[in-house]
Structures are given as structure tokens and as C-alpha cells.
Amino acid sequence: MRILTAAGVRQSQETLAAQAGAYWTRPDGDRWRSDSHWRDADVFTGNDLWSHLGLRHLDMVERGERALGRPAGRWGRVVEWGCGGGANAIHFAPRADEFVGVDVAAESLDECGSQVRAVCDTPWKPVLVDVAHPEDAVAGIGPCDLWLSYYVFELLPSREYGARLLALAHRMLRPGGIASVQIKYSDGTWATRPRRWGYRSSVAGMTAYRVEEFWELATRVGFVPELVELRPQDDLDRRYAYFTLRRP
């Protein structure tokens, strides 16, 4: 795999998007549930990692808002792009007036909705998105105050696709709204470059950015990057960066 990446083997964005759509919309065993962060996946069995992940992200968002001089802990509409099995939703939804879960898999939307309803009565809105046409989902969501995306950008078909998604986040947020986005960062070595081929063979290794590259991308889209937190070693993997982005 590394040899092919180093050799510059690439597939088109359209091909990679089709492969991503095929993978995520066809639930297939525990690997798929683990990648989708379902509570009953083997990776979360016998530990509290599933719940801990969402709590950590909630703490990051609250720290970010305090750093910006804002009262933390309550939002209007919250959108999570790539909600999976609800590990984040169960912690953010109780603090929201409405929680919108966006995912490419109908099964994950059902699972996330079940988890949200088990912990709170916050209105829940599921939005199914087509991998090839994420822009089509925006009209059905409406403006939001907080936009979340964790363990998603590393799964995207390409960095160009990530730019499209970041632009959608900016479009959805109200002025002054916050996006909390996690990426997998590249350290500049060939082993940490974006893959650009063979989506299914290494789902979580598809897309990475240099930290300064993503910061600059967010700026070009129209965001004001406020904070970045690096986690070289994570409970699930390595080289994670968490950005707090403000729409001015």
C-alpha cells in the first residue's frame, strides 16, 4: 500500500467517491460498525470508550467557547456531519434545542436517533446525504449554531472533497457560529500522505492535511480559525488535530 502511494498511484475523485458510497451504504459486519462508531462494535466492547469520545469532544467545544468569552453549554440547532452511531450525539443533543444528524448510511441515522431518544427529548432530525452530492443535503438542514464533524474528514475521498464540505459548514452556520472539526494530520512524510486510491483497503487513511494547510483552507473558505488541539496519539489512532473555526 505504501509503495503505491509513494509511487503516486491515483484514482479520480469520482471513482473514490463511488467507492466511499459503496462502502458506507452497505453495512457489512463488525468492521463497518466499528468504523461507524456503533455502540455494540467490538472496539467498544468491555470499555467506556464509546461514551468517552463524545464527552471529550463536548469538553473541547466548551473550552473553545470559554476561550472566546462565550457562555458554554447550550446551543440552538446543532448539526453533526457524519453522526454514525451516536457517540457524540448523546452528549451534544441534551444541550441543544434541535439536533440534526447527517450521514450517508440510513442504518446509522436510525441507530443514532435511537441513542438520542434514549437520553433526551431534544427534537431529532435525520438527514441522509449522497456521498457524490453533499450539497444537495444543505437545503433540508437550515442554519445552525454549532457544526460538528469528528472522525469524518480522514474518511473523505480526497482533500478537494474536504474543501467542499468545509464550505458547506460555513454556508450552514449562522454568523458567529462555531465549527468543531477533527482531521488526521500529515507530518510531511510519504507514509502520512493522502492515499488517493483503493478506498476500502484503508478507510481511515484516505485523507490527511498538514495542520497549516487545513488552517489556510479554513481561512480561504471564510472561517476564522481560533484554536487547534493536537493529539499525536489517540484512543483509536494517531495524528489527530481538532480545529475550532468561527464564522465571522
Q: Is the pLDDT score of 8 beyond 60?
A: no
d(CA 144, CA 174): 6
Work out the angle between the directed axes of helices 211-221 and 159-172 (0-180°, nearest 10).
40
Q: Is the pLDDT score of 203 beyond 90?
A: no
Residue 68 has what pLDDT?
92
* 162-173 residues labelled b (16+ CB within 10 A) or e (exposed): bbebbbbbbebb
pTM attached to this predicted model: 0.91
Q: What is the pLDDT of residues 66-121, one digit of tens each?
A: 999 988 778 999 999 999 999 999 999 999 999 999 999 999 999 999 999 999 99
The three-state secondary structure class of 216 is: helix
Residue 143 has what pLDDT?
97
Q: Which residues contact 72 (CB under 8 A, 6 or more apart)?
A: 61, 62, 63, 65, 66
- Average confidence (pLDDT) over 224-229: 97
Strands 124-128 and 224-233: unpaired
Most confident stretch, 5-14, 67-76, 136-145, 202-211: 136-145
Q: What is the pLDDT of residues 51-64, one digit of tens each?
A: 999 999 999 999 99
Residue 196 has what pLDDT?
62
Q: What is the pLDDT of residues 157-183, one digit of tens each?
A: 888 999 999 999 999 999 999 999 999
Q: Is the pLDDT score of 127 beyond 60?
A: yes
